[in-house]
Amino acid sequence: MRGPSDLDVLVPARDGPALEALVGGVRRIAVLRANALGDYLMAVPALEALKRAYPGAHLTLLGTAWHAEFLTGRPGPVDDVVALPPITGVSTPEAGHVVPDGLCEELRGRGFDLAVQIHGGGRFSNPFMRRLGARVTAGMRAPGAESLDRWVPYTDYHHETLRFLQVAALVGAVGGGLEARVAVTGEDRAELARALGEPPRGLVAVHPGATDPRRRWPVERFAEVADRTGRPVAVTGTREEEHLVTGVVAAMRRPAIPVVGTLGIGALAALYERCDLLIANDTGPRHLAAAVGTPTVAVYWCGNLINAGPLSRTAHRPLISWTTACPRCGAGGVAPGAERCPHDVSWVRDVSVDMVMEQAEDLLTGPRGG
C-alpha cells in the first residue's frame, strides 16, 4: 500500500565543525515547541537530530496539554512533556498571559544543561528560555529579540523543518532524515477499532478543514474528487470543522464515513495509516498522514507552501494556488508583515478539481519508488 519516502536522504553527516559545536556533559535537554499538530510534526526531524547527538540525554518538550496526551508513552525522541499554561508568545498567541509565579523556578530545578528554542522569533520565548538556567541556550532570533548563546536569524519564507534543523546544528546535532515519522501504537489502533470498527480496504481520507479559512478549498470540490476516486471515503475533521465534514458528505453522490471529533490524535494516525491516500488542505492532519507513511495530495497557498509544504514529491503532491491578493478586496498577502484584511474567503480556489484528481490518480494507481 505504501513505500518509504523518497526523502529519507541525509543532511550532511557530522564533521569537524559539528563535533566542535557539541556541548559536553549534557544530561537534560529542554526544547520549546508549544503550538499545534503540524507545527510539532515539522519539528520532529530536529528533535530526532538532538536525540542522536545526545543519546544519553533526557529530552523534555515544553509543550501544551495535547502534546502530553499524544506523546506520553509514545516511541520517539521526546522522553517527557511539560504542559505549559497559557503564556503569551510562548504557549499561546493570545495577549495578557504572563509567566506564572514559580514556573521558571520549578523548571530550573530540573537542571537542564541545554535549552533549545524552536518556537519562533524569540521576542517572548527567548527571555523565557534564558530563565530556565541552562548552561547553553540555542534558538532563533528575529530582529529586536533577545539573543541566546547560539542563534540563527529568524527570517520570512523559510521552511520550518529546515529552520529547526539549523538550530539543532548550532549544538552539533546534524545528520538524519528530513521528514517526520510518528509511531502508531496498539492503543491507537484499538481506539480506532472501538470507534469505527474495521476500516474498509482501499480507503481514501478527505480532510476539508484548516484553521485559517483562507486556506480551505471549497467543500464541493473535495466532494467531487472523493466521488471520482471510486474508493471508500472517510471525511475527517475536528468538532469545529463539523460543518465542513457534513458539507462534503452531503455534496457527494456516493456514501462516505464522517469522522468528526470522535478520535484522538493517535487514533486518527491509526486511521490514516489504513488509508491509501489523504486529500486535504494545508493542515496538521496532512502532516500526520505523511508521518505515518500515507501518501497525500494537498492544496496550498503559495506562501504557505514555502514554510510548511512537503519536502518530497514521490508520495506527497502539493497543488499550488498563486493567488497573491484577497479575492474580495484586493489586499496583498505576500509581503512580510502585511496587515490581514477582514475577509475569510478562500485564497486557493484557482486550484481545479482536475489538477487535484490528476495527482490523486497517479498516487493511487502508479508505482512509487523508495
Give one DSSP letter per residue of 245-259, joined into a string: HHHHHHH-SS--EEE
Are 232 and 87 part of one and the same domain? no
User: At residue 51, what are phi and psi to the nearest 5 degrees?
Assistant: -65, -35
Rounded to whole angstroms, the Cα distance separating 160 from 158 reads 6
Instruction: Output the pLDDT for position 2.
Output: 37
For the chain, what is the domain count? 2
* Whether residue 191 sits in one domain with residue 149: no
Q: Is residue 370 domain-resident?
A: no
Instruction: Let me know whether 195 and 135 are in one domain.
Output: no
The whole-number mean pLDDT for each consecutive block of 10 residues of the chain, a chain of 370 residues, reads 38 62 97 98 98 97 98 97 98 97 97 98 98 98 97 96 98 94 98 96 98 97 98 97 98 97 97 98 98 98 97 97 97 92 97 98 74
Residue 16 has a pLDDT of 64
Is the domain of 267 the same as that of 217?
Answer: yes
Question: In the numeric block, which cell numbers belong to residue 204?
Answer: 481514501
Whether residue 139 is found in the same domain as residue 192: no
**Domain annotation covers residue 182:** no
Indicate the SS3 state at residue 144.
coil
Q: Which residue, 108, 137, 170, sits at the end of a domain?
A: 170
Residue 181 falls within a domain, yes or no? no
- pLDDT of the residue at 85: 98
pTM of the predicted model over 0.95: no
Range of the domain at 269: 187-365
Flag whether 180 is in a domain: no
In a domain, residue 301? The reply is yes
The C-alpha atoms of residue 370 and residue 358 are separated, in whole angstroms, by 21
Q: Are residues 196 and 161 in the same domain?
A: no
Q: Examine the domain organization and report whether 129 and 192 are in the same domain.
A: no
Beta bridge partners of 296: 278, 316
User: Looking at residue 222, which CATH number applies to its domain?
Assistant: 3.40.50.2000
Regarding whether 210 and 71 lie in a shared domain, the answer is no
Close Cβ partners of 337 (under 8 Å, ≥ 6 residues apart): none
The answer as to whether 8 is a domain residue is no
pLDDT at position 15 is: 59
φ, ψ of residue 50 in degrees (nearest 5):
-65, -40
**Residue 158, domain member (yes or no):** yes
Is the residue at 177 inside a domain? no
CA distances from 96 to 93, 100, 121, 337 (A): 10, 12, 19, 22
What is the per-residue pLDDT for 20?
Answer: 85
| Judgement on whether residues 90 and 209 belong to the same structural domain of the protein | no
HSE-up (13 A, CA, CB side) for residue 213: 11
pLDDT at 366: 74
Helix (H, G, I), strand (E, B) or coil at 99: coil
Q: Could you give phi then psi for residue 232, rounded to 5 degrees?
A: -60, 140
Place of cell 477499532: 193
User: Is 285 in a helix, a strand, or coil?
Assistant: helix
